[in-house]
A and B are shown apart, each in its own frame.
Chain A
Amino acid sequence: MAGDLLSARNPLCVELDAIPEYVAEGFSAAVSSALEKGTRLIGLFGYPKKTGKTGVIAALALDSEGIIKLCRLAPSPSYPSLTVRHPGAHSLERSLYESWRVEPEGHPWLKPLRKIDLEVPPPGDASFYRVEGEEIHEVAVGPVHAGIIEPGHFRFQCHGENVFHLEIRLGYQHRGALGFLLGDISPRWAAVAESITGDTAVGGATAHALCLEALCGVEASPRAEAIRAVALELERIAYHVGDLGALGNDVGFLPTAQYNGRIRGDFLNCLMTISGNRHGRGLVRPGGVLFNVDSKAAAELRKRIETHHREARRSIDLLLDAPSVMARFDGTGRVSAEDARAIGLVGLAARASGLTLDVRTDHPAGASRFRQIPVSVGAHGDVHARALVRSLEMDRSAEFVMETLGALPEGPLEIPCGPLRPDSFALALVEAWRGELVHAKITDNLGKVVAADVVDPSVHNWFGLALCLRGQAISDFPLCNKSFNLAYAGHDL
């Protein structure tokens, strides 16, 4: 039947040939029709076929039913662009074109996403969207910024203080990470997965592990899954606490900035107690986890987390109750729910705009299948909402961690993984602290990985930052930027 898609659940592994394949127009029509029925595009994955040609897999999430739908594009140099009708596809199509040379015909802004040496000149000289007019001026910032922050280039079209348009040019952090995830199973894979977005080491390692486990047909034990989930939520709490402090810093509210800088470290030190590394590196591996949390350690961690959480709550309440802070947060950097849906925002930025979107609830894997975390949703999509969602999520994650550590299930820490299923496509979704993190792998007939992809939540969300600056004063950029706090390296890979 025309327009049929294959349905599966997170984490999934399917035979390549089981995924329906369409020629160019048919592919766009099938994806487009699914998008109109309420799915979200979560990835476009290119892969080399035996014939030497390039195939493409589209993955769409039907969040209300916890289903992921798949279809393929038969080898073709181009297909009608999805972006024209579904703006949320714009960066995924640019990425596909850049990496695999499959052209989305009619894409309105087909610039390189990460590689700087393609058609356009290096940043600074690149052709940016430009507003013309006598009183219009342009502000160019970056790649090197004033603080300890990753590099990116921001080009503002301004009328006085007012921003008409912001274009964000990334790619400076491109390290060719995906190239290290190919071939046979290697101990390097997990190290690279932890370093693609280094502030999301647990999230990255978990998505990699789930994807590889699906590809091997194994599942980690309930105990290993619970320890992973505890680490993932500790990572979320630490970064939410840190971001709330940084938001305080950006509006000159220093008490919370100072306290949260320290309390964030307290939560990272809890990760260190579990894994020997403040960022939880070396903990999550395909097949399970490398470190146990015994009952004594769990009891001690619970005591510490209770104290740290109480202190964080006091510090964050100071921030959220301060009228001077609210005057700056309220109404700044708004993204409406309609815009958020149209551009495909994910994670906490989407929830702040009122979308009930959370992988932990919509596509649960591992421990979140058994112990649900309520979804925290904001209303207005402004800086205030993004702060509030962080604050709510901190409480709910802390509650989850306390409960999980109080009753860790039994099971072996590690289960051997391998060999990889041949001619298959595997995909895993994890709700990392910024949002939906996707890992995908495709194998050939010998069971070697021939294509690997990672979609960091920032790939979707950078455009949200650009959009929220429209009609905003340029001096509000640092605050808006901090309220998203997106990944550069994770985007650039």
Chain B
Amino acid sequence: MLRILRTRLSLGHRTAPLPKPGEQPVAEGFRGLPVLSPGRCFEGCRACEEACPVSAIRCGEGGPRLDLGTCLFCPECERACPNGCIGFSREHRLAATRREDLVIGPGSGPPPVKPLEGELKSLFSRSLKLRQVSAGGCNGCEAELIVTGTLVFDFPRFGVQFVASPRHADALVVTGPVSKNMLVALEKSYAALPPPKLVIACGACAIGGGPFRGSPEAHDGVGSILPVDLWIPGCPPHPWTIVDGILRLMGVLEGSNG
């Protein structure tokens, strides 16, 4: 017992405070929100499009446009661009309540999250129980979701917790492109949630199929199967991205960007 206490003292207190507005909690080098520079593209240059493994980026009038929901946040486009038009910032706020807000262009900031209103707000703003279903997830998103419950991020301090049964849950957190073999189990899990209920799509696979987009064995994400209330981009999303998205939805953090 004394040894446990001594170890406890030597390892210290590690729970991180919530990032203040404008603060970036993730260390330098992290590939967060992409930054697209306008007007520096060569005409006819498609280097970034060709380098992107999942066609998340499109060149056109007014510079490149990038879909955060498809993007794997890999370094390929940044490396391919001959003119330095694409880079990654340390910005961890990536989640959005509307799918179309995930498409960004030059000068875009973090996408907006519209906080819950009315009954949903009064029910969920101080206590949101989550049930996670992996439907073809690779265990990357799952690992980062588990991390939100560790003492560093301490999600339970905001009343957010992962529960064992969908019947105890307020929201379904879906990972993976929704493999054909998991479709029935996913639909049954959703049906078991008592209303009102929310759906959170976590990671590139759940949003648009990720690297498995177009597979005949999967569904390109959960969007065509369940009504999604929050989209959390990343491959996998950083734990701060997950915490930020859900807390903005609950209204604990400021919802709009900036």
Contact = CB atoms under 8 A, between A and B. Distances in A.
Interface of A: 116-117, 122-123, 143-144, 146-151, 171-177, 179-180, 186-188, 190-192, 194-199, 201, 255, 258-259, 261-262, 265, 269, 272-273, 276-279, 281-282, 290-291, 311, 314-315, 318, 321, 487-490, 492
A129 B134 CA distance: 27
Contacts of B134: 148-151, 173, 488
Contacts of A174: 136, 179-181, 217
Nearest to B75: A282
Contacts of B135: 151
Closest 5 CB pairs of A and B: A198-B138, A198-B140, A176-B217, A146-B164, A261-B150
A148 B29 contact: no
B96 interface: no
A489 B141 CA distance: 12
Contact of B53 (A123, A186, A279, A321): A186
Interface in B39-72: 51-54, 72
B151 A143 contact: no
A318 B7 contact: yes
B208 interface: no
Contacts of A290: 75, 79
Contacts of A276: 29-31, 75, 88
Contacts of B150: 258, 261-262, 265
A186 B218 CA distance: 21
Nearest to B153: A265
Nearest to B51: A187
Contacts of B141: 198
B117 to A, nearest CB: 29
Interface string B114-154: 00000000000000000011111111111111110011100
Nearest to A204: B138
Interface range, B side:
35 or more
A148 B162 contact: yes
A315 to B, nearest CB: 7
A195 B53 CA distance: 13
Contacts of A265: 147, 150, 152
A282 B139 contact: no
A148 B31 contact: no
Nearest to B163: A146
A255 B8 contact: yes
Contacts of A255: 4, 7-8
B162 A147 contact: yes
B31 A116 contact: no
A315 B9 CA distance: 12
B145 A192 contact: no
B86 interface: no
Contacts of B236: 198, 279
A186 B14 CA distance: 42
Contacts of B8: 255
Nearest to A123: B181
A330 B123 CA distance: 46
Interface string B205-240: 100001110011110000000000000000110100
Interface stretch (B105-113, B182-190, B248-256): B182-190
B138 A489 contact: yes
Contacts of B11: 259, 311, 314-315
